[in-house]
Structure 1
Amino acid sequence: MARRGHRPSQTPAGRPRFWGRHAVTAALANPERVVRKIWATREALGALSIPSTIPVVFADVADLARLVPSDAPHQGLVAEVDPLEDIWLGDLLQQGADDKRPLVILDGVTDPHNVGAILRSAAAFDALGIITPDRNAPPESGTIARAASGALELVPWIRVVNLARALEEIAEAGFWRVGLDGEATQSFAQAIGQQRVAIVLGAEGEGMRQNTAAHCDELARLPISPQIESLNVSNAAAIALYAAAVRG
């Protein structure tokens, strides 16, 4: 009998399985990532350079499909990896005051597809990192790695025990904390100014928790049409990161 909680995308040892060309090649290219094993078709392996220390198992498409969630687009590649080592918030915040890269804080965003898409946008717009609560965010997984399209290996992801306390530490480091809220009166572009900015996003539907909003310096909205109530959180993150990147 499988261990309780064991899913095809995770081994009994708690190691995630990544699938797809972007996720697997990015994991191989990351010196901080330990890749334990690779399953692949001969055709997919032909395009890879794999260190001799990593065990490789040749497999057909049907075998690979049994290693990952149903309908996962594995592209002939599956890898078993160790989760990345934890990163301390204080270490990330030691960047100098002239480093204007934004931070992204996620409060209660639990959908791994959304987290992966946000990581991808964070990499595209050169964010300093993303921060999530330790207990109310998804773990590393093949779904996140696939949605992030390699960005899981590029963007520092910090998990914190207490998000409110982390927001206080972020403010002490010189960041202006702007929470996205559809009911806010001012626009995001008006709120961010020229200072170092931390973009705070809440879960879809529920939004930010009250205590999280109270630890923001300002609340702001994106200028979307009144015909649409709200945006998907990953779309909102991408727009906010773009706005932070192009400010004059």
Structure 2
Amino acid sequence: MHVPDGFLDVPTSVATAVVATAGVAAALHGARRDLDERTTPIAGLVAVFVFAGQMITFPVGAGTSGHLLGGALAAVLAGPWLATLALAVVLIVQAFLFADGGITALGTNVVLMGLVGVWVGWFGFRAAQAFLPRRTSSAPLAAGIGAFVSVPAAAATFVALFAVGGQAEIPLGSVLTAMLSWHALIGIGEALITALVVGSVVAVRPDLVAGARDLVGGRPLEIREGAGA
């Protein structure tokens, strides 16, 4: 999903950079009310997990690559505002230190994964919750559904951007076929990983999962002391 330099023209890249900047600014504002002793370490762990997962990439054709997006997972665990910030930080580090995704395409990648991936995943999760029993055990399935829909949504957004400002000499139909077909398969893997991770956390500490916190009645933070304390 990482878009390289020169794949989109300058106006399109500038436009996505503006949208990404506005999205991150909104996330900074929105995250202030979400930060507490629970969410801060969860956001850090989510960023590390997504960073590691995104470093495992494979080509999907048309000059792009596929990998775990992690937007829905981050949103369910830490909330969408913190998830947007975590994905933005991951993408910035990858672009500047690992040359994974272009510098001029950084705004595009933040839009695709940090905004579309996170927020489509979050709303997909909430929509699935509306049709599932209101209990914490439903959270993994809802998270998996959100993750599945987020991946082709991000891929479709890229195709739309390429249709507007694509620079590569690749037919739009080839880009559309490669992106949507491969990312539909990636979405299945993303759904499974997301459901497994969310299910593991929910089974132990449902109060640490932002998407399930309203189902546990604001359970207080537990601090376990050592036996000798």
TM over 0.5: same fold? no
Larger relative contact order (Cα-Cα within 8 Å, sequence gap ≥ 6): 2
- Relative to its length, the structure with more helix (as a share) is 2
- Relative to its length, the structure with more strand (as a share) is 1
TM-score, normalisation: structure 2: 0.28
> Which has the larger Rg?
1
TM-score, normalisation: structure 1: 0.27
